[in-house]
Structure 1
Amino acid sequence: MGYIPRGALENLKKYSYKGVDKSLVSKYVLNPFWTWFVTLWPLSVAPNTITLLGLCIVLVNFVTLLLHDPAYLAEKGGVFVPSWVYLSCSIGLFLYQSFDAIDGKQARRTGMAGPLGEMFDHGCDAMNTTLEVILASQALNLGRSWWTVASQVATLANFYLTTWEEYHTGQLYLAEFSGPVEGILLICGIFAISGVYGPSFWDTGIMTFLRLSSVPVANQLPDLPLNDSFMVFAAFAVCFNVYSSYNNVRRAMRAAGKPTVQPLRLLLPFVLSVAIQVFWLSHPRYDDSAIINSALFVPFLCAWGLQFAHQVGRMILAHVTNSPFPWWDWMWVWSFVCAIDANLPLIASRPPVIQTSEANTTAVVYLTLAISFIAYGRFCALVINDITNFMGIACFTVRKKDKDGVWQDTVPDAKKKL
């Protein structure tokens, strides 16, 4: 059958999406808008088509930014991106959020709800995560910096935690303040402010911005720039999400009569994958040829993001097929070898074997990007092929196979509950 064993495919028929959204913004503001917005789409449009269109909008934002700042220097590097680019990123991210929210509603309208939509939705979200880190970090005037790396780690950690939590509880939990709702709106606001005032606005000290520099007690606190302060806030958000996610998992494990500590071991694959990437990035070459100080920084982050998408994609697949949790990803071997090679001066007091020059390092990073893209693309193609063939559905059209195996256009009831 391809990528998924037949026994696991049988579990697809038992899968049903379950979610809990405690966000007041989602309930009273966004959901009424989404319920109206989905009615603008013809019933002939497949839910996955809407999801893909949302990702394409973000990709356009990403390409537009790199066309104006290909070296990813931001304003602190002397590059001034037109304000409309940031404003378009704000609009694009809001549209992505809206498209991502209504694809499930469209699935229920068209009778196409199922595990394929769950896989496709989360797969696009995983890729969008890294793209938005790159876009938002540039808008915050962070550019090539360890703060951008920290933002990548924090954002991927939140996504991994959500997927890990859903695997163990069977439900997608969105708290009162969650990344897919309030987090996205916050980043939309960052883009809008950067469009009006420029990214250098975020270099303003927080005490200066709040006009507390002259207050006796407050002036003893560090005047941390707003962009750095945002990163500190993100770190606290990750800690809160770890606590919240584990509480949900612990309750689910107790209710099922299973050990409550064992799931924590399944966080180790993420820690290992991050350690490998950071180890490679922190190799002891601090001149302009170092990855973090060069134009290779963005392709490195993109390769990292694709490897992460492959990792969480397998986690989501394990969830919808009720299969064992994926502990291992072969792409780690490639990145680990590259990290060891780059750090040979530190490990063995000898120069790298492969990454001996800027040209060789460039070739290795872009080769890593290509391999990561091919590996994730292969995963997506094989999984989509397996699920559509087994379930008798199409991915990008509203069609199903009848009992004789003939494709039929569905005629859904437009009045179905959204």
Structure 2
Amino acid sequence: FCPKWVAPNVLTFSGFLFTVLNFLMFAHYDYYFYASSDAKPEYPPIPNWVYGVAAFNIFMAYTLDGIDGKQARRTQTSGPLGELFDHGLDSWTAMLITVCMYSVFGRFDNSVSPLRMYFILWNVFVNFYLSHWEKYNTGVLFLPWGYDISMVATVLIFIFTSIAGHEAWKFEIFGGLTAGVMFEILLYISALVSNLPVVLWNIYKSYRDKTGKNRTLVEALRPLVPLIVLFTITTMWILHSENNIIERDPRIIYFATGTIFSNICCRLIVAQMSNTRCEILPWILLPVAGAAFFSYILPQYDLVTMYIVALCALLAHVHYGSCV
């Protein structure tokens, strides 16, 4: 039950704040993702109650994100602004929840390295983005069941960890396959099986049946350019960092990349709702490219530069959201 005087966007934002709380909570207890690793005993384990709180927060975020649309229709306040607010915050949440999950397995022992986690994060980004790229070309947002399954699975994983502790994930099967690696493989397989083929098929059908936007191939692929540019810049920066910033502070890299991704995704959502041409190079990519070049020239400052990029991306994204 939700009173009619509660605005739908209040529900949306409240749900988002639950995921922000999780991110801040795990950053406090496990900033460097060492807490679940036996190799770093100087970093104490995350208290079990933290995982319980995280499960509750994800459940509340998922619930509020699910009822905001119903509340909008119930109060007759549905509109494009609500859709942008909802899906725009979801694009940011994609980073927040995934990074929190990394603390369950940690970066050592039975898990994956921060670099591999970076690519896992990008797998989540691409799948989220493809759904909105699909709507950009078809005019319809076909939401797969993968989102609901992933949210329920996240809640269950946090609940299980709060009861059994993070040690319960330290096992191997099939000759060395660890829990963290299984999580990694599952995400990649789900993307290749449940999302990408469906997106491509729906776009193909819209062209075949002439029910979509029927853009040229170049125009249809246009929204993918900023995503590819961001991936190229950040990946080259990380791989060529002399100070190995992905190992020194992976959290700030995940946050900066996720925030910029969310901004790019919001611009695509605006373009699809307003039926306008998607930006091919959003201005937010220019300072990122400049920062990457600066870190290449002066590698001793590359981590400091990443901190600046993260702060500027946060301010720019909040400004964009408040103005739009």
Q: Do these two structures clear the TM 0.5 threshold for a shared fold by scoring above it?
A: yes
Distance (whole Å) between structure 2 residues aligned to residue 56 and residue 137 of structure 1 = 19
Shift of 1:264: 4.2
| TM-score, structure 2 as length reference | 0.90
Contact 2:225/2:281 (<8 A) preserved:
no
Equivalent residue, structure 1, for 2:282 = 329
Equivalent residue, structure 1, for 2:258 = 305
Equivalent of 1:374 in 283, 299, 315: 315
Distance (whole Å) between structure 1 residues aligned to residue 310 and residue 279 of structure 2 = 22
Distance (whole Å) between structure 2 residues aligned to residue 259 and residue 124 of structure 1 = 28
Shift of 1:260: 7.6
Equivalent residue, structure 2, for 1:395 = none
Alignment of 1:43 onto 2:11: no
Shift of 1:142: 3.4
Equivalent of 1:68 in 29, 52, 64: 29
Q: Which amino acid aligns with 1:375?
A: A
Q: Which amino acid aligns with 2:232?
A: A
Alignment of 1:96 onto 2:95: no
Q: Which amino acid aligns with 1:271?
A: I
Total equivalences in the alignment: 312
Structure 1, gaps ≥5 residues long: 1-39, 208-221, 345-351, 384-418
Equivalent of 1:277 in 234, 240, 262: 234
Contact 1:94/1:188 (<8 A) preserved:
yes
Equivalent of 1:178 in 146, 160, 169: 146
Q: How does 1:356-367 map to 2 (within 5 A)?
A: 356=300, 360-367=301-308
Q: Which amino acid aligns with 1:101?
A: G
Alignment of 1:228 onto 2:185: no
Contact 1:141/1:199 (<8 A) preserved:
no
Shift of 1:265: 5.2
- Cα offsets for 1:299-352 (capped at 9, x unmatched): 22111111111101000001111111222122222222333344x4xxxxxxx3
Equivalent residue, structure 1, for 2:92 = 127
Going from structure 1 to structure 2, the CA distance change for 1:311 and 1:333 (only over 3 Å counts) comes to same
Moved more, 117-126 or 365-374: 365-374
| TM-score, structure 1 as length reference | 0.70
Contact 1:166/1:173 (<8 A) preserved:
yes
Structure of higher RCO (CA pairs closer than 8 Å, 6+ residues apart):
1
Q: Which has the higher helix share?
A: 2
Structure 2, gaps ≥5 residues long: none
Distance (whole Å) between structure 1 residues aligned to residue 81 and residue 172 of structure 2 = 46
Alignment of 1:197 onto 2:164: yes
Going from structure 1 to structure 2, the CA distance change for 1:333 and 1:252 (only over 3 Å counts) comes to same
Shift of 1:141: 2.2
Distance (whole Å) between structure 1 residues aligned to residue 173 and residue 206 of structure 2 = 41
Q: Which amino acid aligns with 1:51?
A: T
Q: Which amino acid aligns with 1:81?
A: I
Going from structure 1 to structure 2, the CA distance change for 1:119 and 1:265 (only over 3 Å counts) comes to closer
Distance (whole Å) between structure 2 residues aligned to residue 204 and residue 336 of structure 1 = 41
Moved more, 44-53 or 328-337: 328-337
Equivalent residue, structure 2, for 1:57 = 18
Q: What secondary structure sits across from 1:273 in the alignment? A: helix
